[in-house]
Chains A and B, each alone.
Chain A
């Protein structure tokens, strides 16, 4: 059995009377692409924010990269990358400047930053644009760049919160190629999405309904269990009973 980099036990987050995350338990192995599915408001983002050290859980336990989510958030933050649904690069900085900044805050040396950014720019084929402001790039490029920046410091785990929102199918496909490459390089990928075709690309998926985990398995196994042709059908069968309507 591979090493577990994320371990959650009965993790709960309550906002007043509202149980955003209701006793979820799961484990993620190193190098795995772990999909986190659910309708809007199912609690995906809340759960992810706890694991990233952005939010305190109400009860339960969880460790990320071996660090406790209650007490060792700063250690967690050194070992993870994060890309949120909101585009989070600085639009009024150039591509190179953004890379330099985020590399710098993760403690990379200027020399390492220079070497790796040359490499990255070539990989992405952005040689012409590297000194352009990020705000001038098309959305698809921005998302790919944001992902590259999130794993620039070679974290153990990268958390992606609906990374492909609003992106065209071709770019989404390219984006997933990048995710595979990262996983192949040993980075664990924890990704939330509500695109069911993307769920098929994951090694294992979790389906959250009303703050609880309703299913957790490989896509193939889930489809077999629910006698469905694709993940979309699996999701409908599970999410139909949801009480919190999506917006």
Chain B
């Protein structure tokens, strides 16, 4: 136990002396939280539409003003042919071409139905599908209201028939703002980087410079060495988590809806799991390049498969299975649930158990795989 004290003292002295890492550790949460939610924005707005109006009726004019008024779209030009409209898209001056056929208004009034053509630039898939869906909604909405007008004019009685309308309201992130989705994700990313990268590289560095062998020839016990590496980075991780929460509050006014102690309990266990992962990587790597490469490989999988930036619900079953085997997945889910929804421990206790299992497995594996004698 006394030995652990000396290990910790040494570790903290080294961390404080490594200026770049030290600055990075504290600049990283602040900068990432400031930049990423603003920049990495999947909100779909300002979709540029070019219109080919072959009808030139009052109805099309009303339709365009409705589209323009939605706030998601703005009409960048009126083309006289589809071919001409396409040149906008080719020049990347427009995302969508909306073509209205000849005699649109007349046919709509007479036959009650009429088609319009929507061509969407799908290079950015998310923008295309969400933008397309929005536009569809707007046009449907428009056609319903005109239909009602038409029907009311023709059959005043029928207009009084009950109509079932679906409305929806958005919960937990009421303004559908991306920052509410991103900020909790960035907390997770930060802790993941601290846990996964810093420890792996730190331990492997000792192997590289030869101090590891010196340590192995001393009576330091395996658990003492591992604890001596885990505890400092665990403390740093918790500090960074706290800075993150403060930054989110000061800059975005985001405060956790759920209790803070719950967030901290999860962060504490999650860090132990990820530190175990970092140690495990280090026991398998002979030098810092290997450790970085291996850690980076897993970080990419963690980032892309955990629901940090992508929706797990839309993954195929096999991918969801992989996703559930990643500790990050459970932590991301919990942080979002607690921060945005105000979930209680009762709601997320299964995730807590998962994280404890991850922490135990990864650390035990690392301790077993770390050998003082080969």
A pairs with B: yes
A30 shortest CB reach to chain B, Å: 20
A204 shortest CB reach to chain B, Å: 24
A74 shortest CB reach to chain B, Å: 6
Decide: A55 and B373 in contact? CB cutoff 8 A.
yes
B142 shortest CB reach to chain A, Å: 68
- Cross-interface CB contact of A73 among B10, B13, B210, B372, cutoff 8 Å: B372
B-contact bits for A64-101, CB 8 A (1 contact / 0 none): 00000000011001101010101111111100010011
Task: Tell me, in angstroms, the Cα distance from A56 to B373 when the chains sit together.
Answer: 7
Decide: A53 and B6 in contact? CB cutoff 8 A.
no
A104 interface contact, C-beta 8 A? yes
Residues of A within 8 A of B3 (CB): 104-105, 107
A106 interface contact, C-beta 8 A? yes
Decide: A88 and B373 in contact? CB cutoff 8 A.
no
Residues of A within 8 A of B219 (CB): 74, 77-78, 105-107
Question: Which residues of B203-219 have CB atoms within 8 Å of chain A's CB atoms?
Answer: 209-211, 213-219
A-contact bits for B264-279, CB 8 A (1 contact / 0 none): 0000000000000000
B9 shortest CB reach to chain A, Å: 7
Name B14's closest neighbour in chain A (CB-CB).
Answer: A92
Name A91's closest neighbour in chain B (CB-CB).
Answer: B209
B317 shortest CB reach to chain A, Å: 44
Name A101's closest neighbour in chain B (CB-CB).
Answer: B10
What interface size band does chain B fall in?
Answer: 20 to 34
Task: Tell me, in angstroms, the Cα distance from A82 to B218 when the chains sit together.
Answer: 8
Decide: A88 and B210 in contact? CB cutoff 8 A.
yes
Residues of A within 8 A of B14 (CB): 90, 92-93
B2 interface contact, C-beta 8 A? yes
A160 interface contact, C-beta 8 A? no
Name B228's closest neighbour in chain A (CB-CB).
Answer: A105
Task: Tell me, in angstroms, the Cα distance from A56 to B210 when the chains sit together.
Answer: 19
Residues of B within 8 A of A56 (CB): 373-374
Residues of B within 8 A of A105 (CB): 3, 6-7, 215, 218-220
A137 shortest CB reach to chain B, Å: 15
B-contact bits for A19-60, CB 8 A (1 contact / 0 none): 000000000000000000000000000000000111110000
Residues of B within 8 A of A87 (CB): 209-210
Decide: A77 and B217 in contact? CB cutoff 8 A.
yes
Decide: A84 near B373, CB < 8 A? Known: A93-B10, A105-B220.
no
Decide: A55 near B214, CB < 8 A? Known: A92-B17, A93-B10, A97-B10.
no
- Cross-interface CB contact of B217 among A80, A86, A104, cutoff 8 Å: A80
Residues of B within 8 A of A97 (CB): 10, 13
A35 shortest CB reach to chain B, Å: 20
Task: Tell me, in angstroms, the Cα distance from A169 to B80 when the chains sit together.
Answer: 91
Name B221's closest neighbour in chain A (CB-CB).
Answer: A74
Residues of B within 8 A of A195 (CB): none
Question: Which residues of B191-231 have CB atoms within 8 Å of chain A's CB atoms?
Answer: 209-211, 213-221
A14 shortest CB reach to chain B, Å: 14
Residues of B within 8 A of A54 (CB): 213, 216-217, 372-374
A102 interface contact, C-beta 8 A? yes
B198 shortest CB reach to chain A, Å: 15
By CB atoms of chain B within 10 A, which of A84, A101, A102 has the most?
A101
Task: Tell me, in angstroms, the Cα distance from A104 to B224 when the chains sit together.
Answer: 13
Task: Tell me, in angstroms, the Cα distance from A87 to B211 when the chains sit together.
Answer: 8
B5 interface contact, C-beta 8 A? yes
Name B206's closest neighbour in chain A (CB-CB).
Answer: A90
Task: Tell me, in angstroms, the Cα distance from A114 to B183 when the chains sit together.
Answer: 49
B179 shortest CB reach to chain A, Å: 39
Question: Which residues of B32-71 have CB atoms within 8 Å of chain A's CB atoms?
Answer: none
Task: Tell me, in angstroms, the Cα distance from A243 to B140 when the chains sit together.
Answer: 88
Residues of B within 8 A of A77 (CB): 217-219
Task: Tell me, in angstroms, the Cα distance from A52 to B372 when the chains sit together.
Answer: 11
B92 interface contact, C-beta 8 A? no
Question: Which residues of B1-26 have CB atoms within 8 Å of chain A's CB atoms?
Answer: 2-3, 5-7, 9-10, 13-14, 17-18
B189 shortest CB reach to chain A, Å: 28
Residues of B within 8 A of A55 (CB): 373-374
Decide: B216 and A86 in contact? CB cutoff 8 A.
no
Name A78's closest neighbour in chain B (CB-CB).
Answer: B219
Decide: B213 and A86 in contact? CB cutoff 8 A.
yes
Task: Tell me, in angstroms, the Cα distance from A197 to B219 when the chains sit together.
Answer: 34
Residues of B within 8 A of A88 (CB): 209-211, 213-214
Decide: A104 near B5, CB < 8 A? Known: A88-B213, A97-B13.
yes
Decide: A102 near B218, CB < 8 A? Known: A92-B14, A93-B14.
yes
Residues of A within 8 A of B214 (CB): 82, 84, 88, 102
Can you sample 22 A-B contacts with CB below 8 Å?
Answer: A54-B216, A54-B217, A54-B372, A55-B373, A55-B374, A74-B221, A80-B217, A84-B213, A86-B209, A86-B213, A88-B210, A88-B211, A88-B214, A90-B14, A93-B10, A104-B2, A104-B3, A104-B7, A104-B9, A105-B7, A105-B220, A133-B17
Q: Shortest 5 CB-CB distances between A and B: which pairs?
A: A104-B6, A86-B210, A88-B214, A82-B217, A101-B10
Which of B's residues lie within 8 Å of A, judged by CB? Answer: 2-3, 5-7, 9-10, 13-14, 17-18, 209-211, 213-221, 372-374
Since A52-B217, A101-B7, A104-B7 are in contact, a sample of 18 more A-B pairs with Cβ atoms closer than 8 Å, ordered by chain A residue number, is: A54-B216, A54-B373, A74-B219, A80-B217, A88-B211, A88-B213, A89-B211, A90-B14, A97-B13, A100-B6, A101-B9, A104-B9, A105-B6, A105-B218, A105-B219, A105-B220, A106-B219, A107-B219
